[in-house]
Amino acid sequence: MPKAWMGKFLFVDLGSGSSWTQEVPDWMRSKLMGGKAFGAKLLTDLTPAGCDPFAPENPLMIMTGPLTGTSAPSMRGCVVTKSPLTGTFLDSYFGGYFSPEVKYAGYDGIIILGQAQEPVYLWIDDDRVEVRPAAHLWGQDALEANAAVKSELNDETVKILSIGPAGENRVLYSLISCEYNRQAGRGGAGAVMGSKHLKAIAVRGTNTVTIHDPEAFRAAVIQANADLEKSEDVQAMRDGGTAPAVDFANETGLLPSRNFQDGSFEKASNLSDIGQSKHLWLNSAACLGCPIRCSKMGAVRTGKYAGFITDIVEYESAALMGSNLGISDVRAVAHLVKLCDRFGMDSMSTGGVIGFAMEAGERGLLESPDGISLEFGNVQAAEYLIRSIAFVDNDLGKLLAQGVKRAAAALGGDASAFAQHVKGLESPAWGPRGAAGTGLAFMTADRGGCHQRGLPAPLEVTGGEWEGKPVQALAVEGKADMLIQMQNYLAGTDALVKCDFGGFGVQPETYAALLSAATGERHTADEFDRLGERIWNLTRNFNLREGLNPADDTLPKRFMQDPLPSGPNKGHRFSAQDMAFMLKDYYSLRGWDQAGRPTEETLKKVGVQDLPKFEKSS
């Protein structure tokens, strides 16, 4: 096994309490690299077709990349499983300190199968693996459980993943808390962990990640840091994290306002870096080995919600839990996001669900609980709904715990007309009615409504250039080609499990140099594009096998039926003709048939057909 990889996966069967290691096959390392690609292949081979996401057979996997745990800047980890929210492929990424510790314990990934009869937590101390009882932790929130496990192990340096009550109660958009202030948020991985009765995973490692050519690797790290320093985008992230995007999205008509009814919000600056720096931030913080330091640690110091520590309220949470709910007090938004973190719920999906409920309440489709008015701007109602969803202790909480798609189907009437989701995953905080390529990105993302698989919006709304030509926001021609290039590169570098923000600065040639020096194998910059194309076909095949209907490659009805009422894109919506044109172009360029299925010729060309099946040894 070349350097940088640890050379083995750790398997744990919670049903039997057994664990074993299995060598990472050479073909897997050379053809798939790590991270997302490992996860996509393992999910395909280990999961029975049509498997219930809550069945013991659905694996819950924590994957690293070959550069995770090295001094290469801005690397992360990812969780891969079959999503209970969408029924399709799910990969969810997290920063912090947990994924390097997995490498230090000696593993390229942890694969958890089976289902414990009673609540347990997993204790991995290098080669020692124990399944320990956790009934005393069940019911604790995600951060309480983290502290309790550290206390029990008598080691504050142990790194921990944990779930809160939402995961225990199988709320379909539950998250996994990855140490404090970092989460694998999207798609419901926390509910899969809860279904296995797994409250937490604790890891301590004492190994090192070996490097083939330390001198060349050091030079590549220096170049990577220089790439970051030269990037204006990285400097902006260092100054204000993602919070300035609130004002940017507001000015360009992309900001969700009142369940995406509008693309601008009159008090947006209260939620952006302007409001957050005034009311919350005290200092900057970083994940392990990251020079960007995009986190802004602080505290709510004044007002009704004063008295708790908070990280930056990231753009997606600020928009979906703020403007999308008509709430402009960033201290209240920080309070609501903190509740989501503690209870273990994705604040993006939760914001989307509450926005849906508030609109349903105002339209008379949903009856307000006693003493609570379901209307936009009502912080008390948002807090009531968060608690009801997390603990599913009333009918409204049970309804909304299923996500927007299922809640709209249950309500009936015209509820689906304002249910903001793609393939069941609640929409990210970028209303695409003024950015055609961004709409196509959401239609085709492999885990449902997602902004992290390629986001043309910044180029589209600023008239930026792509391959030397200005990008027209509303044009549909050429958007499929641009998006596919973005999707392929991002998927390829997700096999490294790099941070998206690091990718703003570090150049493809530098990633290749880091990888070459670390592994002793020759890697090139264009390799990430080819690998990304292979991954994109792997995940598409998995989703089709699990019942994805290509007709679901579409947008929420609101983006097609309701013209934007204000802003620079006032009056615009997606037409059926625009969507059909882009989708036809996209399928054709991907080498998929007219129904959106990869052809045999394409699967052979990108190397999917030649991949052996991964066989589990026990």
Distances in whole angstroms, Cα of residue 120 to Cα of each of 110, 195, 198, 378? 16, 11, 5, 38
Mean predicted confidence (pLDDT) in 57-85: 97
- State the pLDDT at residue 583: 97
Residue pointed to by tokens 């882009």: 582
Sorting pLDDT into bands at 50, 70 and 90, what band is 1? Answer: low
- Residue 181 above 70 pLDDT? yes
Residue pointed to by tokens 């289902």: 115
What pLDDT, in 10s, does the model give residues 235-258? 999 999 999 999 999 999 999 999
Mean predicted confidence (pLDDT) in 8-13: 98
- Residue 618 above 80 pLDDT? no
Distances in whole angstroms, Cα of residue 459 to Cα of each of 162, 472, 569? 38, 9, 15
Orientation of helix 479-494 relative to helix 527-545, angle to 10°: 90
What pLDDT, in 10s, does the model give residues 94-115? 999 999 999 999 999 999 999 9
460: three-class secondary structure by DSSP? helix
Sorting pLDDT into bands at 50, 70 and 90, what band is 306? Answer: very high
Q: What is the dihedral of CA 556, 543, 618, 519, to 10 degrees?
A: -90
- Residue 2 above 80 pLDDT? no
All residues at 6 or more sequence positions from 31 whose CB lies less than 8 Å from its CB, including other chains: 534, 607, 611
- State the pLDDT at residue 533: 98
All residues at 6 or more sequence positions from 151 whose CB lies less than 8 Å from its CB, including other chains: none
- State the pLDDT at residue 332: 98
- State the pLDDT at residue 245: 96
- Residue 281 above 70 pLDDT? yes
178: three-class secondary structure by DSSP? strand
- Residue 288 above 90 pLDDT? no
- Residue 289 above 90 pLDDT? no
- Residue 442 above 70 pLDDT? yes
As a whole number of angstroms, the distance between CA 98 and CA 77 comes to 8
Residues linked to residue 345 through DSSP beta bridges, in sequence order: 174
Q: Are 119 and 135 in contact (CB under 8 A)?
A: yes
432: three-class secondary structure by DSSP? helix
- Residue 170 above 70 pLDDT? yes
As a whole number of angstroms, the distance between CA 379 and CA 303 comes to 13
Q: Are 338 and 366 in contact (CB under 8 A)?
A: no
Rounded to the nearest integer, the mean pLDDT of the chain is: 96
- State the pLDDT at residue 14: 98
Sorting pLDDT into bands at 50, 70 and 90, what band is 287? Answer: confident
Q: Are 76 and 287 in contact (CB under 8 A)?
A: yes
Q: For residue 10, which phi and psi values (nearest 5 degrees)?
A: -100, 120
Mean predicted confidence (pLDDT) in 386-405: 98
Residue pointed to by tokens 């590169």: 489
